[in-house]
Chain A
Amino acid sequence: MQTTVVGNYPKIPNRPRPARLRQAINRRDRGEITSEELARIEDEVTVEVIGEQVEAGLDIITDGQVRWDDDQTYVTRRLGGVEIGSLERYLDTNTYYRRPEVTGPVSWREPILVRDYRFAAENSAKPVKAIITGPYTLAALSLDNHYGSREKLALALAEELRNEVQALAEAGAPIIQVNDPVIVFNKDDIEIFSRALTRMLNGVQVETAVYTWFGSAAQILPALLDLPVATIGLDFVSGRDNWEAVKSVRFDKKLGAGIVDGRNTRIESLEQIEESIRRLSESVPPADIYVNPSCGLEYLPRETAFEKLKRMVEGARRAQPVAA
């Protein structure tokens, strides 16, 4: 059993700690510092955020996605054929993202995430997994003015982002995780989702994962288990049906177990965390479980996110079967 996160981490701390990134972005917007200076501060904040995840005791971390404005634009902004458009509500939250607008054939032109991965790996005492947003989610949350069907767009994105996955694998990422949550809202599209992910990941020689959140994957779990990935990430907090779903199938992959609420400030008790892990251990061998929050932690206050991770790590330790 290992502990990890799903992706993003809060970008700014609360007082008395300074909100350096927020200030730096404001200063860049006012023309007081250059984009290069902002990039240096993003690096520094990334190191800080890596440090917090390591201090919380996680086994595998991410770079916190500090540089990401949102899951959609950070990945698509460097693709050909995509422009960044209007502000839209992100799924069922009170937060917003900028909607990518597909204006022509999408094309991968250069590595998007490789430099970030390398930087994080060099600055982390723990293994870093690379996170990339999935082709289905990108297609569903974009405005398509070119392909004329979500399927065509998702497959085209998958084909192009496969280059990014390969570049990340060559850079040495030990795990590449595809965050592709929107499928739980549109389960009828599971075939498109599966074809796209297969096209993106099939034959990749590194451990891969696909994570969902904000809902249950119950009806589509068998299809997820057929995907060419090592790990399926499920949200057991907002997707209550996932508890039954994992029992009703032969769960022969690793499970990314989202058992700590990434959207609420209440800190789970150790007993609750232990009990959740025990329940899941009835369906999945403990060695194949990644314990993580239900989704990215970005929309929690930073200090709460840290406390939650510490508590999660401690709960996971207590649930760990004693070595014989």
Chain B
Amino acid sequence: MPALTTNAVGSYPKPDYLAQARTQFSQGKIDRAELDKLERKATEYWIRSQEQIGLDVLVHGEMERGDMVAYFAGEPGGNPIGGMKLGGLVRSYGNRYYHKPIIVDRLTWPGPMTVEMWRYAQSLTDRPVKGMLTGAYTMVEWSFDDYYPSRRDAVLDMAPIIRREVEELVKAGAKYIQIDEPAIHTRPNEDFDLAVEAMHLTVDGIDAEFHTHICYGEVEKIYPDMLRLPVKQIHLAFMNTDFEYLKLIEQTPFDSGKDLGVGVTDIHTRFIEKVEDVKDGIRRTLKLFPPERLWIYPDCGLKTRTTDEAEAKLQVMVDAVRDIKRELEIE
């Protein structure tokens, strides 16, 4: 991929018609085929939108997924991992509740869970579409567990399931696969080795380029440990912390064999960053990395923003990269 490749983290906002259709489907008012049609329509929208904005590598936008863990555990329309189900309502925050997954039995791979949608998205474009999965550690950490004697046992049984899905995506033609581990800094002392072990079990020996996204949170607690993750690229949310993570990298250099994914627009604000501010962040990062080792992203998935906000943020990012490339005379 070219220097300063632009890409996105995973999710985009769902159009109203799809949000309504998901509710109707879960109430039995429309059938799977109807929901499928609308998911594809929304996916096509986002593929075209990303092309128009000018991203180099695309994501399919996760129109079929509600929550990044619950999708794999029994959300309506999904193909749930064996041994997982959705439990009762649990509060997320404010007045928002969700059906938190529960591991109730031995985990098994249920057949392809994400391949069909990936294949559809890739069929729409010549640009590469990333395969998007949730990592084994986060899958377990964000679920209840009624079955396994320890978190370790559950994670080690989850990893081969995610691996199997990776293999299916690679078989279908995916070159880039992102395995999100937003929960990885939950218990850095207790569990980080386990998360690394799980990533090895998930990706080792498979011929694809692996990325991971680590959400904002106490990133300083897992740096430089995170460099042990066996992936080609680690993506971090830089804009939300005003590029503070650069200080960590100044103190302890980033692994020279890895690329850095740089989040340059904050997904938690409705405010649209100025191109100059995004360029400033990229320039600061370029003091520590050659451009070939940087990919440029938003901080996180954009699904909580409106479509207009999400597209505006992507456009600012792409415009900033175009300017910087011109300055550096990269083509």
Contacts and interface: CB of A to CB of B under 8 A. Distances in A.
B48 interface: no
Nearest to B188: A92
For the complex, would chain A's binding face be called helix, strand, loop or mixed by DSSP majority?
Answer: loop
Contact of B90 (A29, A70, A300): A300
A266 B144 contact: yes
Interface residues of B, number: 22
B205 interface: no
Contacts, number: 59
B179 interface: no
Contact of B93 (A96, A300, A301, A303): A96
B120 interface: no
Interface string A50-74: 0000000000000000000110000
Contact of B95 (A25, A95, A97, A301): A25
A304 interface: yes
For the complex, would chain B's binding face be called helix, strand, loop or mixed by DSSP majority?
Answer: strand
A69 B95 CA distance: 8
Nearest to B191: A92
B171 interface: no
B219 to A, nearest CB: 12
Interface string B170-194: 0000000000000100110000000
A265 B97 contact: no
Given A94-B142, A264-B145, A266-B146, A304 B88 contact: yes
A95 B91 contact: yes
B95 A26 contact: yes
Interface in B45-96: 87-95
A11 interface: yes
Q: Please list the 6 inter-chain residue pairs (A to B) with the smallest Cβ-Cβ separation, ordered nearest first.
A: A301-B88, A96-B93, A265-B144, A14-B88, A266-B146, A92-B186
Given A266-B145, A303-B88, A304-B88, 9 more contacts: A14-B89, A19-B97, A26-B95, A87-B93, A94-B141, A94-B183, A265-B146, A301-B88, A304-B87
Interface of B: 87-95, 97, 100, 102, 141-142, 144-146, 183, 186-187, 217, 268
Interface of A: 10-12, 14, 19, 22, 25-26, 29, 69-70, 86-87, 89, 92, 94-97, 264-266, 298-304
